[in-house]
Chain A
Amino acid sequence: DVKVTQSSRYLVKRTGEKVFLECVQDMDHENMFWYRQDPGLGLRLIYFSYDVKMKEKGDIPEGYSVSREKKERFSLILESASTNQTSMYLCASSLMNYGYTFGSGTRLTVV
């Protein structure tokens, strides 16, 4: 089974901190995605990547950046965390045009 591993289940950070959320997949998938999930707003796409060193903005990229230096790893970076970035963050990967496999999520609280 494909495994998508997010480095932290829960994270508490201070306003203004630089935050790194890490995601690793073990099945050689080309595509990787970062979503945030908030009550009543569903899943919103932040950034995605089709290949190493390649990235594309999703629907809500402001305040975020990403890094994909290796095929298996896709990092989400909050340059200067703010309280409105408190959310559940979900990483996903997929092979070509098949369905996504999601990680278990990171619940980030910015205080």
Chain B
Amino acid sequence: GQQLNQSPQSMFIQEGEDVSMNCTSSSIFNTWLWYKQDPGEGPVLLIALYKAGELTSNGRLTAQFGITRKDSFLNISASIPSDVGIYFCAGRKETSGSRLTFGEGTQLTVNP
């Protein structure tokens, strides 16, 4: 079952605003991933993090692997209408092989 707490569940923001969302767990993960799902499509990988403390950027997106290995956050700067979608965090534990655990998603709405 789900072991990642992702928040917020939904966000309504104005174009140009910055966005922050995070995932926390009581378990330790050795990989954190962030995906975006456009309406009617499958999730697409945005950022992958493999080391505690790692901070990685992909354009306007920045994600960090928490020092405790139990959390991760994603920031989106200067949001635009095409940022609309569902953002999922996912983590991999050392003991779970290739299997990922997913958060429940953050639904982002950007008003022009």
Contact = CB atoms under 8 A, between A and B. Distances in A.
A102 B42 contact: yes
A42 B48 CA distance: 20
A100 B1 contact: no
B33 A99 contact: yes
Interface in B82-112: 88, 90, 92, 97-100, 102-105
A17 to B, nearest CB: 24
A31 B42 contact: no
Interface in A31-54: 31, 40-43, 45, 48, 50
Interface in A81-111: 90, 92, 94, 96-105, 107
A96 B48 CA distance: 14
A104 B102 contact: no
A31 to B, nearest CB: 5
A59 interface: yes
B40 interface: yes
Q: Which of A41, A50, A100 has the most CB of B within 10 A?
A: A100
Contacts of A31: 98
Contacts of A105: 40-42
Interface of A: 4, 30-31, 40-43, 45, 48, 50, 59, 90, 92, 94, 96-105, 107
8 contacts: A30-B98, A40-B104, A42-B88, A42-B103, A90-B42, A99-B45, A102-B43, A104-B42
Q: Which 4 A-B pairs have the closest CB atoms?
A: A102-B42, A42-B104, A43-B102, A31-B98
